[in-house]
C-alpha cells in the first residue's frame, strides 16, 4: 500500500511555483524567437521562403531547423501562437525532464519527415511542432495514467483534438505533411520518454482507511479456531475408568410445573 501523502509544505509550494515559472519562461522564449524572426523579416523585407523546407533538395535541409520560425502570413503566425504557447507550457510543466529531449526530437523528426516525403513546395510554420506536442501530451496520459498525465491528456484533446483531422490532405495551401510528421514524432517521443519523469506518489483517500478499519473490526468479531481456544478442564484417567455422575437436585412435588414454551 502507498504511504499517505502529507499536506503540501511551504517548500513543496515554492518548488511548484518554480516549476510553473520554468514552463512559462521556456514557452515564452520559444514564441519570442518565432515572433522576432517574423517581425525582422517583415521590417527588412526578407523572404521567409529561404528558411522553409524544400523536400529532397540539399539546400532545403536548413529548413529542418529554421522552418518553425518562418510563417507565410500574419494570420498563419497568429493561428500557431496560442496552441504553441499552451502546449509548450504544459509539456515543460508536466514533464520537465522529458521535454528537454521531446521538443528537439519533435522539431528535427518532423522537419526530416517533410524533407523526405512531402510534395515539392516550400513548407514553413510551427504547426508541425504544435501537432507533435499535442500528440505527445495525449499519448503520455494513455501510457502513464497518473492523475496529472490523464488530466493534461483530456484537456489537450478537448481543446485541440481537431488537429487529428489536419493530418489529412484537405486544403491545397496547408502542409498536412508537416502536421502528420509532427504528430508521428510526438507519438514516438511519448513512447521513448514516458518513464523519464518519475511518477508522483499515489494519494491515499479516507475511504481506504475506513475499509482497513472495518476489516480489523471484522477480524475481532470472528470466532477463534478450535485449536486456539484454551483448555479449561482436562479429563483424568480415573474419569475414563469409572466415569463421572453429575447429580441433580430432585424435584420437589410442591414445585409448579415448568412453563410451556410456544
Tens-digit pLDDT profile for residues 163-216 = 999 998 888 888 999 999 999 999 999 999 999 998 877 666 665 566 555 555
Q: Alpha carbon of 7 to those of 2, 32, 135: distances in Å?
A: 15, 38, 33
**DSSP three-state, residue 143:** helix
Closest CA to 131 of 68, 222, 191, 72: 68
Inter-residue contact 102 to 145 (CB < 8 Å): no
pLDDT in tens, 141-157: 999 988 889 999 999 99
**pLDDT category of residue 89 using cuts at 50, 70 and 90:** very high
Please tell me what DSSP assigns to residue 168.
Answer: S
* CA pair distance 17, 22, nearest whole angstrom: 9
Amino acid at each position: 500500500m502507498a504511504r499517505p501523502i502529507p499536506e503540501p509544505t511551504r517548500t513543496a509550494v515554492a518548488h511548484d511555483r518554480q516549476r510553473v515559472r520554468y514552463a512559462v519562461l521556456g514557452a515564452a522564449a520559444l514564441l519570442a524567437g518565432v515572433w522576432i524572426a517574423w517581425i525582422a523579416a517583415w521590417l527588412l523585407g526578407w523572404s521567409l521562403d529561404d528558411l522553409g523546407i524544400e523536400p529532397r533538395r540539399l539546400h532545403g535541409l536548413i529548413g529542418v531547423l529554421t522552418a518553425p520560425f518562418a510563417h507565410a502570413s500574419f494570420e498563419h503566425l497568429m493561428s500557431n501562437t496560442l496552441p504553441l504557447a499552451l502546449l509548450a507550457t504544459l509539456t515543460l510543466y508536466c514533464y520537465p525532464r522529458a521535454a528537454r529531449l521531446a521538443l528537439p526530437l519533435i522539431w528535427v523528426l518532423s522537419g526530416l519527415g517533410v524533407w523526405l516525403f512531402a510534395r515539392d513546395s516550400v513548407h514553413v510554420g510551427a504547426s508541425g511542432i504544435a501537432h507533435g506536442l499535442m500528440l505527445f501530451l495525449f499519448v503520455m496520459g494513455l501510457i502513464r495514467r497518473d492523475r496529472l498525465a490523464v488530466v493534461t491528456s483530456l484537456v489537450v484533446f478537448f481543446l485541440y483534438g481537431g488537429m487529428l483531422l489536419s493530418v489529412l490532405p484537405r486544403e491545397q495551401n496547408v502542409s498536412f505533411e508537416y502536421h502528420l510528421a509532427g504528430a508521428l514524432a510526438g507519438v514516438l517521443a511519448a513512447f521513448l520518454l514516458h518513464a523519464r519523469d518519475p511518477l508522483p506518489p499515489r494519494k491515499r483517500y479516507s475511504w481506504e482507511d475506513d475499509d482497513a478499519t472495518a476489516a480489523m473490526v471484522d477480524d475481532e468479531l470472528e470466532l477463534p479456531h478450535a485449536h486456539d481456544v484454551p483448555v479449561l478442564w482436562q479429563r483424568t484417567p480415573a474419569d475414563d475408568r469409572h466415569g463421572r455422575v453429575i447429580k441433580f437436585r430432585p424435584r420437589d412435588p410442591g414445585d409448579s410445573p415448568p412453563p410451556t414454551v410456544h
